[in-house]
Amino acid sequence: MEKNATNGKKNILALLLVLSMIITMPTIVFISSALGGGIAACSDISPTSINASSNYVGVINALPVIYVSTEAMNVIQITFGLQFTQPFYATDTNGDGIVDTFIDPNHLLTLVRFVNISGNASFLLSTGNDMVPEFFWDTNANKTVLLTFISVLLTETWIDPEAQEILIVADVEKSGWVYIKIIDPYPPDKYPKYTLTITTTNDRIISSNMIWRENGNICILDDPSVQYILTYKYTILPPVFNPPDGTIIHIAKPTITITFFEETSLTIATFENNNILDQLTTMDQKTFIFTPTSDLVDETSTLNLTVQDTKGNTLTSTSTYTISIAKKPTGEIPWLIITLIAIILLIVIILVILRRRLII
């Protein structure tokens, strides 16, 4: 009884609170399914969208939506020969005041990713099913901006052992906005302790929210630069394997050397999942030599090493080899060939004898 009375008081208080808020804040809409439902506030909805009924204090079921402007949509239609029957739009699904979800009811555009460009919520969009964007839609300015896609090959690399930095320069010829794809030589899944900073030649740092690293690539969205410097802060540089990764080995007991650029200690060493830690030798803790104690057999084998530096950083490196040992002659007598030759000789002899008899 007491509990019901308390609930009743709570309901009256809630009703008064809701009514007072509707009166004092007309631009805010509430969801409330009678008095048992929750209350949620959403901005950017005009009071005209309040749908009141006898059972509901106030109802919203629409999320804030931004529709593309006709002008911005026309740029894309004309440039890419597309025909939109309805405008594409964006919604704010979590009510934080920033649109976060892109919808194209025409199913002509593919969302590549959301990006915040100088505080403007924008969507990188592809005009096909691929994930290479052709333009971005800035929902704040409600304009579409065309992008140039460039795939850059890295050519020059410097290593600064003092700063433990790898510097790579990427030259890009462009004007206007560009979406650049560069192969990531030190992807985060393989080198989780390396950090990457991208700067331009005038020391402008590319904001980390304009850089994406996935599937072994680095993607950068940027406007006015022509040269980018990729700086990786490393912990342990990857070693050099000799013979290199992917080599086909034709000898049963090959010697494989692994050279690091700094002193390290081996913590794990396996070859085709067998522990070979005590089969590796080193004179300087930089170059390690592995010669198998027993003959290798024909198969694809991976050499896997984990090392640790003096600061406790670790690095795991692998190199895979195809073992293909040449077959020795077996020494067996080729009876089939001998039999065939004997039969041919016999036929020849018979033919010669028959011919002589005919002549006589």
Considering only residues 47 to 106 of the shown chain, the ones binding Ca ion according to CB under 5 A are 92, 94, 96, 98, 100
Q: Is residue 126 involved in binding Ca ion (CB under 5 A)?
A: yes
Distance CA 323, CA 342 (A): 41
Span of 20-28, 125-133, 177-185, 221-229 interacting with Ca ion by CB under 5 A = 125-133
90 φ, ψ to 5°?
A: -130, 145
The nearer residue to Ca ion, 130 or 299, going by C-beta atoms, is 130
Pick from 118, 110, 126: which is nearest to 210 by CA?
118
Residue number, 121 or 152, with CB nearest to Ca ion: 121
Helical (H) or strand (E) element with 21? helix 2-24
**250: enclosing H helix or E strand:** none
- 37 with 31: CB under 8 angstroms? yes
Strand partners, 300: 322
Assigned token pair, 350: 């018979």
Output 32 or 126, the one with its CB closest to Ca ion. 126
- Give the shortest CB-93-to-Ca ion separation in angstroms: 6
Stretch that binds Ca ion, among 33-41, 120-128, 227-235, 278-286 (CB under 5 A): 120-128
Q: Which is nearer to Ca ion, 99 or 303 (CB)?
A: 99
Contact 211, 231 (CB under 8 A): no
Q: Which is nearer to Ca ion, 96 or 173 (CB)?
A: 96
From the list 77-85, 118-126, 254-262, 301-309, the region that binds Ca ion by CB under 5 A is 118-126
Question: Which of residues 7 and 77 has its CB atom nearest to Ca ion in the complex?
Answer: 77
Residue type, 57: V
CB of 92 to Ca ion, least distance (A): 4
Residue 122 found at the interface with Ca ion (CB under 5 A): no
Q: Whole-number minimum distance, CB 135 to Ca ion, in Å?
A: 9
Q: What's the min distance (Å) between Cβ of 97 and Ca ion? A: 7
Nearer to Ca ion, 60 or 249 (CB): 60
Q: Which of 298, 314, 295 is closest to 306 using CA atoms?
A: 314
In this structure, the strands spanning 227-233 and 211-214 are unpaired
For the CB of residue 96, give the shortest distance to Ca ion in the complex, in Å.
Answer: 4
Of 123-131, 192-200, 227-235, 240-248, which part binds Ca ion (CB under 5 A)? Answer: 123-131
> Which H helix or E strand runs over 24?
helix 2-24
- What is the closest distance, in whole angstroms, from the C-beta atom of residue 98 to Ca ion in the complex? 4
Beta bridge partners of 67: 89
Which DSSP state fits 106?
A: T
Between CA 64 and CA 145, with CA 114 as vertex, the angle to 5 degrees is: 95
Residue 260, number of CB atoms within 10 A of its CB: 23
Shortest distance, position 111 Cβ to Ca ion, whole Å: 11
100 vs 272 by CB, closer to Ca ion: 100
Contacting Ca ion within 130-189 (CB under 5 A) = 130, 132
Contact 49, 29 (CB under 8 A): yes
Total of residues contacting Ca ion (CB under 5 A)? 9
Least CB distance to Ca ion at residue 136 (A): 12
CB atoms within 10 A of CB 19: 12
Q: Is 284 exposed, middle or buried (0-12, 13-18, 19+ CB in 10 A)?
A: exposed
Instruction: Supply the minimum distance, in Å, between the C-beta of residue 128 and Ca ion.
Output: 5
Please select the residue that binds Ca ion; options are 8, 47, 105, 128, rule is CB under 5 A: 128
- Report the alpha-carbon distance of residue 96 to residue 99 in Å, rounded: 8
The CB-nearest residue to Ca ion is 126
Compare residues 126 and 144 and give the one whose CB is closer to Ca ion. 126
Q: Which residues bind Ca ion (CB under 5 A)?
A: 92, 94, 96, 98, 100, 126, 128, 130, 132
